């Protein structure tokens, strides 16, 4: 049997995130196998790999949206998950999204709107846009709202799956400035990306490669 092709993670007892031998099957094929990964408080990591390597699937498993077929996932603190495809409700406005998601996080309506509007404003989303239903927002604005909802609960561990899709150049740079600030605040940031230049913006890079062996 071919051995898993991911390097073993260094044991770090204070890790915000620890993956050990994580695997996922799609039918009779292993999509991921033997993934070891650690992420410390205040650390940023880029998760890279070609299309089909399992980046989004791995992030969904860390977020608890999907289960693993082998191995363990351990995460500490509050998790903020920004999926690649915005999980928005077409007929709700941005303000209504803030209240709806905020209630699930234990925030009252006023607190959710105040916190969410502040976060949205940092990415240039404000004013009349707050009252537009999401299906009429531009792709970039939908992604700003998607990212804000991931941040609304003041998470300790950020799981961001290509969170800047549709951003203009200024907002894109603003996003990476926020990553630096989140690290200074002690948050751990995992960012899925396919841009090679972004490897210089993070502390570490973890590359996934397709695992081609069939499951037994």
pLDDT for the residue 199: 74
Pairing outcome for strands 44-48 and 17-26: unpaired
CATH tag for 1-77+156-216 (out of 3.60.70.12, 3.40.50.300, 3.90.950.10, 3.40.50.720): 3.40.50.300
pLDDT digits (tens, 9 = 90+) for 6-50: 344 445 558 999 999 999 998 888 999 999 999 999 999 999 988
Distance CA 120, CA 127 (A): 10
pLDDT at 111 over 90: yes
pLDDT digits (tens, 9 = 90+) for 58-72: 999 999 999 999 999
Which is more confidently placed, 6 or 129? 129
Helix axes 109-122, 139-151, angle to 10 degrees: 130
Please list the alpha-helical segments (H only) found in 30-168: 55-63, 94-104, 109-122, 139-151
Which is more confidently placed, 93 or 169? 93
pLDDT for the residue 12: 56
Domain parsing of the chain, residue ranges = 1-77+156-216, 88-144
Which tokens is 141 given?
């604005």
Which tokens is 167 given?
């951003």
Distance CA 112, CA 153 (A): 9
Helix axes 169-184, 139-151, angle to 10 degrees: 10
- Tell me what percent of the residues of the chain surpass a pLDDT of 90: 74
Which is more confidently placed, 134 or 51? 134
Nearest of 172, 93, 95, 135 to residue 160 by alpha carbon: 172
pLDDT digits (tens, 9 = 90+) for 130-146: 999 999 999 999 999 99
Pairing outcome for strands 79-82 and 157-161: parallel
Average pLDDT, the chain: 89
């Amino acid at each position: 049997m071919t051995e898993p092709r991911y390097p073993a993670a260094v044991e770090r007892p204070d890790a915000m995130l620890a993956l050990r031998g994580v695997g996922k099957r799609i039918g009779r094929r292993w999509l991921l196998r033997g993934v070891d990964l650690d992420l410390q408080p205040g650390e940023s990591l880029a998760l890279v790999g070609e299309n089909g390597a399992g980046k989004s699937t791995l992030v969904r498993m860390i977020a608890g949206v999907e289960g693993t077929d082998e191995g363990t996932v351990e995460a500490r603190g509050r998790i903020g998950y920004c999926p690649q495809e915005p999980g928005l409700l077409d007929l709700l406005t941005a303000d209504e999204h803030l209240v709806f998601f905020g209630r699930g996080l234990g925030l009252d309506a006023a607190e959710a709107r105040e916190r969410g509007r502040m976060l949205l404003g940092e990415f240039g989303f404000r004013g009349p846009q707050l009252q537009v239903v999401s299906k009429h927002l531009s792709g970039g604005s939908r992604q700003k709202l998607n990212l804000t909802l991931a941040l609304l609960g003041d998470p300790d561990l950020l799981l961001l799956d290509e969170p800047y899709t549709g951003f203009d150049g200024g907002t894109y740079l603003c996003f990476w400035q926020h990553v630096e600030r989140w690290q200074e605040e002690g948050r751990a940031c995992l960012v899925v990306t396919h841009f090679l230049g972004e490897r210089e913006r993070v502390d570490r890079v973890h590359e996934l490669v397709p695992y081609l062996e069939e499951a037994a």
